[in-house]
Structure 1
Amino acid sequence: MAPKQEIQADTTTGVWTVQTRTSTYLLDFDEMTLLRAPGVGGDDSEDWTVSRLRRDSEDIPLLGVKSCRVGESAQFWVRAADDPDVRTWRITTPVVSIERIG
């Protein structure tokens, strides 16, 4: 499928990849999960450091997208996988590319 410039906040279906300066995210709106692969697809610039986050490379419950646009940091609303009462934001380094893959 063709690259996109943004994922709309009201998106409710499909599987998307979001590549940032330091990582690649897989958003599955059908299953409502988010997976972060740190260091995958990032650039070699020394301006950006790959941070290690809890639950990297694991599916975590996705509650929604506040913003996700090429050239800006994305903001994903997620639930802690080990405590359903805890909700938090995942804020990324600037988005390089967005693609709907399913």
Structure 2
Amino acid sequence: MAQVNRIPPDVEEGVWTVVTRTSTYLLDFGEMTLLRAPGVGGDEQGAWEVSALRRDSEDIPLLGVKTCEVGASAQFWVRAVDDPDVRTWRITTPVVSIERIG
């Protein structure tokens, strides 16, 4: 669909891919989920180490986006899958590209 430079914090719809230096994220605002595919990123120089995070390659509940802009780290507000009272931030390596795909 369309490449953009940022996802607005108040976005309420659509499916988006966010490619960072080390990973690709799939954000689905219809289902309110976030999926991280580690090691599938945009760092062609290999200067960034890929970290293993809990629930990699699984949908986790997405509560919102604080910031997501090309050139800076994104911050996603998420909830633990197994405990609805646990909320945390997912902070990424710098964002390389953002695309709305649905």
TM-score range relative to shorter protein: over 0.9
1:3 maps to: 3
Aligned-residue CA RMSD (Å): 0.8
Query: Quick one: which amino acid aligns to residue 30 of structure 2?
Result: D
Whole-Å Cα distance in 2 between the matches of residues 46 and 32 of structure 1?
A: 31
* Paired-residue identity, %: 79
Residue ranges of structure 2 left out of the alignment (5+ in a row) = none
Counterparts of 2:31 and 2:9 in 1: how far apart (Å)?
16
Instruction: Please name the residue that 1:30 is paired with.
Output: 30
Amino acid at match of 2:70: V
Q: What residue number does 2:76 align with?
A: 76
Q: Which amino acid in 1 is paired with 2:75?
A: Q
Gaps spanning 5+ residues in structure 1: where? none
Quote the residue 2:99 is aligned against.
99
CA distance in 1, matches of 2:12, 2:24: 20
Q: Which amino acid aligns with 2:37?
A: A
CA offset digits 1:8-35 (Å, max 9, x no partner) = 0000100000000000000000000000
